[in-house]
Amino acid sequence: MKEQNTAKIYAKSFLELGKENNINFAEELTKLTETINASNDLENVLFLDVFSIEDKTSVFNAIAEKLNLHKITIASINYLITEGRHSLLPLIYKEIIVIDDHEKGFLRGTIEGSADSISDEHKAKLLEALKKQLGGKEPILEYKKTDSVTAGYKVTVEDLQVDASVDNQLRHFKDSVLGE
């Protein structure tokens, strides 16, 4: 929880710094995160404690130059590395994306179901129902197949969860029959 709160503070600070200097931190950190995720070696150098701070900053600066990141983004990440807070970078990135999405008026979430995919018709119905509950904000939903849902769908958008699964309906029926 403490790390999450710290990441939120950094995310807000980075976004504010970005607004003051016309830098899209969400876009910049997306490029960086995609690059890090594409290379296990790069991820190891940046996040394992076996490498020195100098090694980490050197490698990061070389990557940042190739990605053409803004000098303020580079300075911000170098600050995290030198302060030993670079392990928070994935959490900071997630917080920045959430805040950026809120400012743009949409939210990210997941649809869980037992089928390999969801039909466009069902997805459209779920989106329409969610928009009403989210005060008109546009949810962006990703479908995930899961064994925890027998039939139907379970939708999660931030702290809102809509459980339209058969499992949930059976649980409610059982509770009503047994008087629980």
pLDDT tens sequence across 130-177:
777 766 667 777 777 777 766 776 677 766 666 666 666 667 676 777
The residue among 76, 101, 126 that closes a domain is 101
Q: How far is the C-alpha of 39 from the C-alpha of 130, rounded, in Å?
A: 37
Residue 94 CA to residue 92 CA, distance in Å, equals 5
Domain span at 111: 107-178
Per-residue pLDDT of 36-55, as tens digits, reads 888 888 788 878 788 888 88
- pLDDT of residue 101 exceeding 80, the answer is no
Kindly state whether residues 79 and 112 are assigned to the same domain. no
- Find out whether 165 and 150 touch, Cβ atoms under 8 Å: yes
User: Smallest Cα–Cα separation from 78: which of 131, 128, 27, 69?
Assistant: 69
Q: What is the pLDDT of residues 75-98, one digit of tens each?
A: 888 888 888 888 888 888 888 887
What's this model's pTM, rounded to 2 decimal places?
A: 0.62
Note whether 53 and 11 are within 8 A (CB): no
Domain with 22 in it: what CATH number?
1.10.520.20
